[in-house]
Structure 1
Amino acid sequence: MTKIDSITVDIIENALKNIKEEMDVTLFRSAMSPVIREQHDCFPMITDAEGKMVVGNFGSHIPEVTNQFPEGMHEGDVIFVSDPYSCGGSVSHVNDWMIILPIFHQKKLVGYSSMFGHVIDVGGPVPSSMPVTATSIYGEGIRFPPVKLYDKGVLNEAIIKIIKANTRTPLENYSDLMALVASCRTAEKRVKELCERFGEEPYAEALDALLDRTEKMMRHLIANFLPTTPVSFEDYIDDDGLNNGPFKMKLTMWREGDNAYFDWTGTDEQAPGPINYYLSEPMFKMFIGSFLISVYDPAINFNDGFYDLLHIETPEGTLMQPKSPAALGCRTHALSRLFDVLSGVLAVNSPESSPAAGYGTSPYFIFSGIDEKDRPFNLMEVMYGGLPGRPIGDGLDGHSWWPAFVNIPTEYLETYYPLMVNSYKTGTDSGGAGKNRGGNCNEKLYTILSSGIISIHDDRAKIQPWGINGGEPGSSSSKVLIKKDGTQIPLPSKVDNVEVEKGDQILFITGGSGGYGNPLERDPEKVRLDVARGLVSKEKALKSYGVQLDGQLEVDHKETESIRAQMAKENGEPESFNFGDRDQVLVKL
């Protein structure tokens, strides 16, 4: 048999990438909850027959789940799972619903399609099912271990009844579940078409070639960019919502030949509150690969081919590998902070090659109640913040960690929920100063139009996002309840059941991000543009960048040169990492 040619491999690779995009489109057009439909909180995947991810956005969990079915997989089967402890953390809290669909061609298993998305409510004591005060997963809503939603094509109606009886949003949840299934069926149809076009064996050979290609390229990255001597880095989560904390996340990294090792030893013990993150080893390998590929060689296809080159040690009973039944609902703080820690450990020996720290969490604004027309409502909105300054340019302002996520349109919010968005903007001066500026935070002001309760999930309120290679740290997050009489009440970064009345306002400010490089090396014209656009104040332009602007916001080049020379003399050599006031904050906490 002739080895498959590279052109056919490329054609199949691009076809699979297009199928993944079609999975997303199918889901967005079918789901009902705004978190999936509008914000795109979902992750598709297509695997080979062994369950190895060939294209997708998260590490493969297929074998761990399918092995729980001794009767095996059959055409028409659809697996449903939402319990992190039953699938090795492939979904990380019970709001994430995952569908796995085996793909058969002429009665032969050729792969799997999978999709998971964040559904808006799965029961429990508070709307949207992520209680800040949860101390075990039993208090976070209903969860499903791997079960067959469809068994040889027959829908298990009992599962649907259980789902509808245990949520505040039965219609949305049912629609989202069926949309996840439809998305996977779309992939099933397209993969079968590829098998018809190229044949089963050439299709399988192409998948092997794609996995092998990525493995070879990743070996090169590891051998050329990772250190042989272990290096460590740590960052902190403010608290767990129950007045415990801060919580340290520590990662040590090294390589042996072309294999890389990552060890979470030194990370704090699991939290009493729900910030624990049950870290899936394949998913963490995906994060590592995604980071290395995006930093060093974005042309590499992203799949499971390199997983055998990565070795992970995560001590049990820690924040990153909690023991059941630890609460997991607010795990996005650790999940997002993981990227800051990974960035930091890769930067220890080469801060000039790595980005700074970002807003380091996934903020949530939750608003629920009964409107004035006696209709129940339940809004959960994912908020964004500043992405870090990078070697290649400025950080993004008010952006999600996940590239595919987008905002819920204001028109959608104001049409379907009793609130008004007064303003939505980036926060001036919130991005750390640097040769490449850190991205600014988001500032969003809501007016409440019907009484209800709100919940807030955020972090980086106490410990700033650090700057790198001479860059300054970014700003912290904050929240304020502005009563209709004008009284301002500061709110914690993690809080449930805050009562609001018609006419009250919520000011939701997320974290900024750290800057990259010496601010005195930033082009004065870029500083002038930042000031003109409201991203940087005239005062910060002078204080941090040494740029003197006149009344018309034009650069006074002679004065700027003099100021910068004096500042450079006073500042001395730039620091590799600038943690702001972290040490003082940690002492106080």
Structure 2
Amino acid sequence: MTRAGRPYHLTPGVDADPVLVEIVQGYLASVEREVETAIGRTSRSPMIRDAHDYRAGLHDRHLRKLTGRSYSALVDPVVRDHPIETMRPGDVFFHNDVYLSEGGIGHLPDLCVTTPVFHAGPDGAPAVVAFVQAFGHHDDIGGTVPGSMPSHATSVFEEGLMVPPIKLWDAGRPNEAALTIMTRNSRMPDSLAADLDAECAACLMGARRMAELFDRYGQDSVEACFDAILDRTTETFRREVLSKIPPGSYTWEDYAEHDGVDPPMLHRQRITLTRTDDADGPGLVVDFTGTGPQARGPINHCGDHADGAFLKKWLAPILRNLADTPERMAELDVNEGVVPLVEMRFPPPGTLLTPAFPAPTNARTFVILRLLGVLAGAVAKAVDGRMPADQETIRYTGVYGTDAHGRPYLMREVLGGGSGGRYYADGEDTVHVVPDSRNLPTEFSESRFPFVVERLGLAVDSGGPGRYRGGLGYEKHVRMLRDAHFMSIADRSILSCWGLRGGRAGQPFAVTIDPGGPHEREVDALADAEPVAAGEVVRIRTTGGGGWGDPLQRPYDDMLRDLRWGKVSFEGARADYGVVASGPPEAPVLDETATAALRTELAAERGAEQPFFDRGPGYARLADGRAAADVDWR
């Protein structure tokens, strides 16, 4: 079955009852949440159980994603290798092979289990009617470094165990040989085994719940509701979102800054966005022509498979920012209904988005997260900046070594960062891009690993200055109790989250070991094994979101609140906002006369003409001294 040849409607001629549509949509959301809750309560690894870096997805028998709270992997590679007619109740399929995943798997630590849902057909025999899937990031799947994300990798073979779609459970019986092979290749075999068991059991439970829906209302009625749910998404996005983009073409680009192998450089990702119209209404063409060549290091992403189906659903949430209100934006689901609205055009093989096997991919977040910002920038040019400024809200940090009993341990977490300022509000602080994801609880970390968390708070001044300030990133201080190694897979350590329409860029990611001590040193954002001695502190500062609008126009009341809350320092207020204030932080006093004079002076110094986007000072370092790219102007 190919995605291009798949019928979009399953039940032509069958009308969906509008009340039943609401019941089915609520039921799907409930099943998705129940599957995720079961995984969270029965898994073992910190990344799955505590950080919640996983998600569930429900798909129909034509592989269309039905739920819209989050993205998920694809069912396509499973059906490609294991035809639907060969599946049996109790089967569970597994894969993590990036190059055989049709674009649904980005790097090897993302493990995916898929379970078919059965319902008795007209002849009484059980037939597949849907799929339940779980997809998450796991602690270790082998490879050259703990955590299976070697920053120096030049081949996918260095990154861990590749498993194409296989049958992990056969009619309810686990494939013990396959499980043994996978756990034998992991440095954390017990955690991996427990996580896989949790995910398989949760998906089998979800399959039973889905089967009950078909048993209760019948296959034709339920599938008619599926059509109606997806049709509603298509029509809503046409009417409320795409119609806000004026017809025309808009080009923007952004960059990853390093690949772990070559010196830092601008690894370009470019989008030309074209608003089109047909008989049904507006649509979009997303053209990636101009994206840079495949990197030697692990920042590549296989995005062109299955007509870009994964990327369509990954990028579509950015478009929700065009909704009339924030409340309406939160209501818009991103399911398979967005797929017919978007045509994707990819460059020839050999680029960051079309890498050739066996190019490494473990740090592909540098590309797929950047593409969210590139699309946002292209849309911002079309709508006079009525989009959020940039955010980059995921990076992996961690430590590993041996504990006091000589046992090996691995602690990793996905720390968030600030989101971009918006045309109506400041950005949010410490946002995680994965729904329901979170930093590891301090109490859990200190009880399990040999370190102490001495500070976890907001990184002062990290948010990009603007009329609406960017959200702040984290500042976390970890004091090691035993010698260990620090690891980091992070971007935006040179380039910053860009500001928009006069707003300025946020502060970049930074890691310092032994700050203020005799061995103080900065650590590269891509680090596999930085030694940390017992007693030394690791200070992590994550990215701040970009600012929106002129920071010299930020109201005095907002500045006083920022000072009271410790989000902006007195020095930052003066340098970035032209605000002169004094007094204790809990009761700052603003000098309006001095502030007005300073803002006039700063406005004169910067001149009248500014680029539409501000990339921050790091851009000039990688762009031969240029302060802005050609596409940054309107």
Q: Same fold (TM over 0.5)?
A: yes
Alpha-carbon shift at residue 540 of structure 1 (Å): 2.1
1:233 to 247, 252, 255: 252
Would you say 1:263 and 2:290 are equivalent positions? no
Would you say 1:105 and 2:105 are equivalent positions? no
Partner of 2:315: 288
Distance 1:247 1:361 in 2: 19
Alpha-carbon shift at residue 59 of structure 1 (Å): 5.4
Partner of 1:83: 97
Partner of 1:355: 388
Structure 2 CA distance for partners of 1:369 and 1:580, relative to 1, 3 Å: closer
Alpha-carbon shift at residue 218 of structure 1 (Å): 2.1
The C-alpha deviation readout for 1:31-84, integer Å capped at 9, x for no partner, is 111111111111211111211001042256223331212463222211100111
Distance 2:450 2:571 in 1: 39
Letter in 1 for 2:388: P
Is the CA contact 1:232–1:253 (under 8 Å) kept in the aligned structure 2?
yes
Distance 1:484 1:504 in 2: 10
1:472 to 491, 494, 504: 504
Letter in 2 for 1:282: A
Alpha-carbon shift at residue 583 of structure 1 (Å): 4.6
1:123 to 134, 139, 142: 142
Helix, strand or coil for the counterpart of 2:147? coil
Partner of 1:584: 620
Partner of 1:5: 17
Distance 2:384 2:48 in 1: 36
Distance 1:64 1:378 in 2: 31
Would you say 1:446 and 2:478 are equivalent positions? yes
Distance 1:7 1:294 in 2: 29
Distance 2:479 2:516 in 1: 9
2:267 to 247, 263, 270: 247
Structure 2 CA distance for partners of 1:157 and 1:484, relative to 1, 3 Å: farther
Would you say 1:388 and 2:423 are equivalent positions? no
Distance 2:247 2:342 in 1: 14
Alpha-carbon shift at residue 523 of structure 1 (Å): 2.1
Helix, strand or coil for the counterpart of 1:53? coil
Matches within 5 A, 1:15-54: 15-54=27-66
Alpha-carbon shift at residue 284 of structure 1 (Å): 1.1
Is the CA contact 1:51–1:60 (under 8 Å) kept in the aligned structure 2?
no
Distance 1:522 1:484 in 2: 34
Partner of 1:177: 196
Distance 1:69 1:84 in 2: 17
Letter in 2 for 1:526: D
Distance 2:199 2:48 in 1: 10
Structure 2 CA distance for partners of 1:223 and 1:475, relative to 1, 3 Å: closer
Return 5+ residue gaps in structure 2 as ranges. Answer: 1-12, 121-125, 626-634
1:214 to 200, 222, 233: 233
Distance 1:369 1:223 in 2: 51
Alpha-carbon shift at residue 270 of structure 1 (Å): 0.8
Partner of 1:546: 578
Matches within 5 A, 1:435-584: 435-482=467-514, 486-551=518-583, 552-565=587-600, 567-568=602-603, 571=606, 572=608, 575-584=611-620
Segment drifting more, 90-99 vs 563-572: 563-572
Would you say 1:379 and 2:415 are equivalent positions? no
Helix, strand or coil for the counterpart of 1:103? strand
Partner of 1:68: 81
Aligned residues, how many?
Answer: 588
Helix, strand or coil for the counterpart of 2:151? coil
Letter in 2 for 1:577: F
Alpha-carbon shift at residue 501 of structure 1 (Å): 2.3
Is the CA contact 1:59–1:282 (under 8 Å) kept in the aligned structure 2?
no
In the superposition, the TM-score normalised over structure 2's length comes to: 0.89
Aligned residues: percent identity? 32
Is the CA contact 2:393–2:431 (under 8 Å) kept in the aligned structure 1?
no
Partner of 1:331: 364
Segment drifting more, 409-418 vs 245-254: 245-254
Alpha-carbon shift at residue 312 of structure 1 (Å): 0.9
Distance 1:9 1:65 in 2: 28
**CA RMSD in angstroms, aligned pairs only:** 2.0
Segment drifting more, 329-338 vs 34-43: 329-338
Is the CA contact 2:40–2:49 (under 8 Å) kept in the aligned structure 1?
yes
Structure 2 CA distance for partners of 1:434 and 1:546, relative to 1, 3 Å: same
In the superposition, the TM-score normalised over structure 1's length comes to: 0.95
The C-alpha deviation readout for 1:209-239, integer Å capped at 9, x for no partner, is 1011111122224651234322111111111
1:204 to 223, 230, 251: 223
Is the CA contact 2:73–2:135 (under 8 Å) kept in the aligned structure 1?
no
Is the CA contact 1:50–1:63 (under 8 Å) kept in the aligned structure 2?
no
Segment drifting more, 516-525 vs 201-210: 516-525
Distance 2:322 2:456 in 1: 31
Is the CA contact 2:38–2:198 (under 8 Å) kept in the aligned structure 1?
yes
Letter in 2 for 1:324: F
Matches within 5 A, 1:414-429: 414-429=446-461
Helix, strand or coil for the counterpart of 1:366? strand
Helix, strand or coil for the counterpart of 2:502? coil
Is the CA contact 1:53–1:60 (under 8 Å) kept in the aligned structure 2?
no
Is the CA contact 2:247–2:274 (under 8 Å) kept in the aligned structure 1?
yes
Helix, strand or coil for the counterpart of 2:315? helix
Distance 1:326 1:302 in 2: 30
Structure 2 CA distance for partners of 1:155 and 1:365, relative to 1, 3 Å: same
Alpha-carbon shift at residue 485 of structure 1 (Å): 6.3
Return 5+ residue gaps in structure 1 as ranges. Answer: none
Distance 1:500 1:565 in 2: 48
The C-alpha deviation readout for 1:140-198, integer Å capped at 9, x for no partner, is 11111000001222221111110121111111000111111122123212212222332
Letter in 2 for 1:433: P
Alpha-carbon shift at residue 199 of structure 1 (Å): 2.3
Letter in 2 for 1:326: A
Letter in 2 for 1:62: V
Matches within 5 A, 1:138-157: 138-157=157-176
Letter in 1 for 2:250: V
Partner of 2:375: 342
The C-alpha deviation readout for 1:376-415, integer Å capped at 9, x for no partner, is 1111111222211112311112221233211110111101
Segment drifting more, 342-351 vs 530-539: 342-351
Letter in 2 for 1:527: M
Distance 2:255 2:153 in 1: 21
Partner of 1:92: 106
Would you say 1:165 and 2:184 are equivalent positions? yes
Segment drifting more, 209-218 vs 360-369: 360-369
Alpha-carbon shift at residue 289 of structure 1 (Å): 2.0
Letter in 2 for 1:226: I
Would you say 1:274 and 2:306 are equivalent positions? no
Segment drifting more, 37-46 vs 367-376: 367-376
Structure 2 CA distance for partners of 1:351 and 1:410, relative to 1, 3 Å: farther
